């Protein structure tokens, strides 16, 4: 059976407008609810990020406080490192006279008798000394040996063996003369060879460090 709408034309138009308005209100309500949900979500995310930022700031403040507390020890560590490097440089650039004497005792011939040994450190090897230019001739006499032996051949052997000591260079025979000792009656009792040998200390590959005393604040 066919349905017939008995409402007047004006009423039908009014009912259509009301249904459209209801749908518009429903859509508006849905949009508002959706926007509210989005707002709540982003608000929650912002609060979470804010809490995370506050936690990081608190941790940073704690770390900065620890850094400030430990800063004096960092200064001490820096000073300790600098002092260690300076001490190492001084040790490496020190003149090893004890080692030099040990090596001399190993190379000296049996028939050679030393009477004196003098040694001085050249200015270029002192802390703060002028650096010697590469290839410049070093006309220094740093070590002087004087002694006696029975033959000139022993003196020559002594010169050769001194060349085995790495700390010495420019080994030179200054003099080697015949000397005789006489007894109470003036007669010759013995004869020997008196000699003098000079050498220079081998310079450092790097200059020794210089140190200065610094006043410590009370």
Between 168 and 7, the more confident residue is 168
Distance of CA 12 to the CA centre of its chain: 97
List % helix, strand, coil for the chain (3-state, nearest 5).
Answer: 50, 20, 30
**pLDDT at 38 exceeding the cut of 50:** yes
pLDDT digits (tens, 9 = 90+) for 39-84: 888 888 888 888 888 889 899 988 888 888 888 888 888 888 888 8
CA distances from 25 to 12, 19, 35, 81 (A): 20, 10, 15, 79
The domain spans of the chain are 10-92, 97-130+140-182+189-201
76-123 pLDDT tens trace: 888 888 888 777 766 665 666 788 888 898 999 988 999 999 988 877
Q: What is the model's pLDDT at position 213?
A: 47
Q: What are the pLDDT digits (tens) for 176-211?
A: 888 876 655 555 556 788 999 999 888 765 555 555
For residue 23, the model assigns a pLDDT of 84
Of residues 83 and 157, which shows the higher confidence score?
157
Give just the sign of the alpha carbon dihedral 14, 15, 21, 25. positive
Determine the topology of domain 97-130+140-182+189-201 in CATH: Gyrase A; domain 2 (3.30.1360)
């Amino acid at each position: 059976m066919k349905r017939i709408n008995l409402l007047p034309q004006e009423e039908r138009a009014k009912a259509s407008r009301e249904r459209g308005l209801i749908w518009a209100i429903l859509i508006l309500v849905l949009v508002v609810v959706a926007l509210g949900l989005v707002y709540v979500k982003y608000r929650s995310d912002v609060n979470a990020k804010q809490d995370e930022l506050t936690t990081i700031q608190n941790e940073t403040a704690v770390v900065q406080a620890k850094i400030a507390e430990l800063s004096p020890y960092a200064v001490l560590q820096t000073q300790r490192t600098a002092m260690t490097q300076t001490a190492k440089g001084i040790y490496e650039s020190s003149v090893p006279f004890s080692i030099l004497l040990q090596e001399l005792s190993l190379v000296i011939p049996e028939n050679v008798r030393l009477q004196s040994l003098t040694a001085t450190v050249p200015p270029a090897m002192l802390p703060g000394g002028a650096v010697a230019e590469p290839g410049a001739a070093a006309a220094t006499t740093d070590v002087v040996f004087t002694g006696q032996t029975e033959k000139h051949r022993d003196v020559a052997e002594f010169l050769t063996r001194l060349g085995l000591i790495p700390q010495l260079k420019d080994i030179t025979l200054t003099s080697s003369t015949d000397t005789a000792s006489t007894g109470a009656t003036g007669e010759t009792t013995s004869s020997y060879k008196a000699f003098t040998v000079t050498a220079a200390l081998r310079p450092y590959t790097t200059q020794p460090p210089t140190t200065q005393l610094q006043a410590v604040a009370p």
